A and B are shown apart, each in its own frame.
Chain A
Amino acid sequence: MRQYLSAMVWITATTVIVASAQVVTTRAAAERRAVTRLNIELVDNKVRIRELEAEMRTRAGMQEMQRWNDAVFQMAAPQSGQILRSPVQLASFAAQPEAAPRVQMAVAVDAPLAPAAPPPVAEMGARVVKTSFGVPAAAADPGLPEATADTPPADPAEPRDGGE
């Protein structure tokens, strides 16, 4: 009886071990298959990336760039005088405060300037250092303009010097 029991225990234990080993093996094989599939996918993607890179680099090749530059950009190599040696040299280009010309603001308006308007900038030798765009005289007033057809807004053709 005892011998039978012992045999049963052994058989059960062996079966359980074999079964669990089988499960482990199956799971390992499944994982391995997944890894292989992933590897193949990776390689596929790498090949695809290479193809796309090849296309991109062909389109952006030096000769293509040259063609674009000749036809569109027309940029030239910098002259030696355009290359600065140090930040100190860059700083030396900054104008002295007292030597700076009078600051003149230019404002672009919607309507063309009146032909009689004097050319103050050219006459006074001032340099336009700042411009702003698209602020008609009426709209520049504080508060929103009334949207009535009866009262036309202030004449936008009148030039504004802007002042300092």
Chain B
Amino acid sequence: MMATIPGDDPLIRAIPAAAGERVTARSQARQRLAFIIMLFPVLALVILVRLIDLAVIQGLPESGGTTISAAPPRGDILDRNGVELARTFEAYAITVMPRRLTSDPEVLATRLAAILPERSREEILADLTSGKSFRYLARRVLPGQARRINDLGEPAIELAREAERLYPNYSLAAQALGYTNDKGHGLIGVEKSFDARLADPVQRAAPLMLSLDVRVQQAMQNELQALVVDQNAKGAAGVVMDVNSGEVLAMVSLPDFNPNVPGKRSDGTAYTTANDDGSRFNRVTLGGYELGSTFKAFTIATALETGVLTNLQKQYDATRPLELAGFRIRDDHAKNRWLTVPEIFIYSSNIGTARMALEVGRTRQRDFLDKLGFLKPIEFELQEKTRPQYPALSNWGQLATMTISYGHGLTVSPLHLANGYATLVNGGFYRPPTILKRDAATAPAGVRVFSEKTSLEMRRLLRLVVTKGTGRKADVPGYRVGGKTGTAEKIENGRYVHGQNVVNFAAVFPVDAPRYVVVAMIDDPRGSKSTYGFRTAGMVVAPTIHRIIERIAPPLGVAPDTGRDLNLAGLLPSTADVKE
């Protein structure tokens, strides 16, 4: 833009102007000039401000993403004490393009076999001469091996860096953790449920902390594995749960698998539909079982809560088996007399429990089972969840009311059972279980199902079973264990399998101030020398519960105290013991 001063313009000079006009024009010109002069520093100031904004306020631009970041390509998974359960690191994969090989495959195969001991020369040679455009020679190769292969100088062999998921504890909590596919997406377990969170570019820098405790998990897995071997059983399941927060500290499902090589069985063979042993099946959440007598605790609690039982000394007729609609309910440890409620519980009387359930009635029974979460899939983060099987309302007659009262005719998962027992003993609050670590502050308040009084009475009864009843082998001196045994016929594809049982035990400790529920279940025990051929829960599972509690209580900070116990006075008329 050109600034013209009116006085200097020859064209303007030619026109005579009045003196006043000339003065005005000059003053205008000066103003414009001043304005333009002012414009430059303002412009410079604007640029300066913008520079400061770019350099200081907005800061340096995000640099390079994955190349300059130590954040793992997928978030780590830790246990409640920060021990790694799953982590991702970059490993080398050796790939080959067989069509572009320049050297002699025979020689190359010999050299590669010397570097990669896990593959035979013949296997490598088969890959090299396959004529395909691309083959993996090896994955998860150590850096040293990768360097030696690189030194071979074969241009058709390439080293690729791949994100590899590592599970340092092998099969520990395998079904709960799950595993990922080749593309790094979770297929089961936590890896699947929290796939988005673990893969999220922002969130993956922070590890995902689970409620599991590897020490507890290892103790339980080890003991259950020993039991499965001893009993020649088909499998086992176990849960340890914090009764006050709903956190799951251990979740064991046997047989298990090694998530580092999820496609292969422990003997190295690949999984097929024919040889799948169900090791990837999470029995704790996805398995549906009739859990038998462990359910009697809920029937008694419902009777106490609804006022059907005002006194535990109320007696029920168990003199003879109960017959209804061609169905016969009988007792395994038949006393053939009238039994009080504590006697019904410690002798595990089906007849007594069924009579009690008839007094409670179908509606209230169903209502309480619903409140305990037994009529719907468990509220839990993992996606592998079973849908409980129970009769439709139209079919839920007197017979169903009676059989369900002692745990037959209703299938739930072992996690349902553990959470039900937690509700029973923690003062009566239902809280959904979780696999994520919860702070005391974030634990939900819970929904009240049973009163404090009912909860206390149930704890006394559970303790009585362990001191005087079928669960005596589960007792650990000083840890005040309470619990209940359960045995039921196994169901497969909706049918009972004759001669095969599912035996389980639900334990609580310390029962005077409950902290943990331990549920262990074993699928089809065959009896052994150590159990004198017995296949009942009291003989098979109770000793394992004893060992598990003995192992997990010290690391969980539960102090043994032989001077403390619940007051069981008045529950039994005299010292009564029950024998298996």
B477 contacts across to A, CB distance below 8 A: 80-81
Q: Does A27 contact B (CB under 8 A)?
A: no
A80 contacts across to B, CB distance below 8 A: 476-479, 550, 553, 560, 562
In contact, A62 and B554 (Cβ under 8 angstroms): no
Q: How far is the CB of A122 from chain B (nearest CB, A)?
A: 34
In contact, B476 and A63 (Cβ under 8 angstroms): no
Which of B63, B214, B559 interacts with A83 by CB under 8 Å? B559
A83 to B, closest residue via Cβ:
B560
Give the tally of cross-chain contacts (CB within 8 A). Answer: 73
In contact, A50 and B87 (Cβ under 8 angstroms): yes
B83 contacts across to A, CB distance below 8 A: 57
In contact, A54 and B479 (Cβ under 8 angstroms): no
In contact, A61 and B169 (Cβ under 8 angstroms): yes
A63 contacts across to B, CB distance below 8 A: 169-172, 218
B63 contacts across to A, CB distance below 8 A: 36, 39
CA gap between A50 and B75 in the complex, in Å: 13
In contact, B87 and A54 (Cβ under 8 angstroms): yes
Interface size of B by CB at 8 A reads: 36
CA gap between A43 and B87 in the complex, in Å: 17
Q: A39-B68, A77-B554 are in contact. Are A57 and B84 (CB under 8 A)?
A: yes
In contact, A62 and B68 (Cβ under 8 angstroms): no
CA gap between A39 and B169 in the complex, in Å: 32
Which of B68, B143, B560 interacts with A43 by CB under 8 Å? B68
Which of B90, B166, B218 interacts with A47 by CB under 8 Å? B90
In contact, B478 and A58 (Cβ under 8 angstroms): no
**Chain A interface mostly helix, strand, loop or mixed?**
helix
In contact, A62 and B217 (Cβ under 8 angstroms): yes
Q: How far is the CB of B139 from chain A (nearest CB, A)?
A: 15
B215 to A, closest residue via Cβ:
A62
CA gap between A42 and B559 in the complex, in Å: 45
Q: Does B442 contact A (CB under 8 A)?
A: no
Interface string of A66-99 (1 = CB under 8 A from B): 1000000000011111010100000000000000
Q: List 21 A-B pairs, Cβ < 8 Å.
A: A36-B63, A39-B68, A40-B68, A47-B89, A50-B89, A54-B166, A57-B83, A58-B166, A58-B168, A61-B169, A61-B170, A62-B172, A62-B214, A62-B218, A66-B218, A78-B554, A79-B550, A80-B477, A80-B560, A81-B478, A83-B554
Which positions in B face A, CB cutoff 8 Å?
63, 68-70, 72, 83-84, 87, 89-90, 143, 166, 168-172, 214-215, 217-219, 222, 476-479, 547, 550-551, 553-554, 559-562
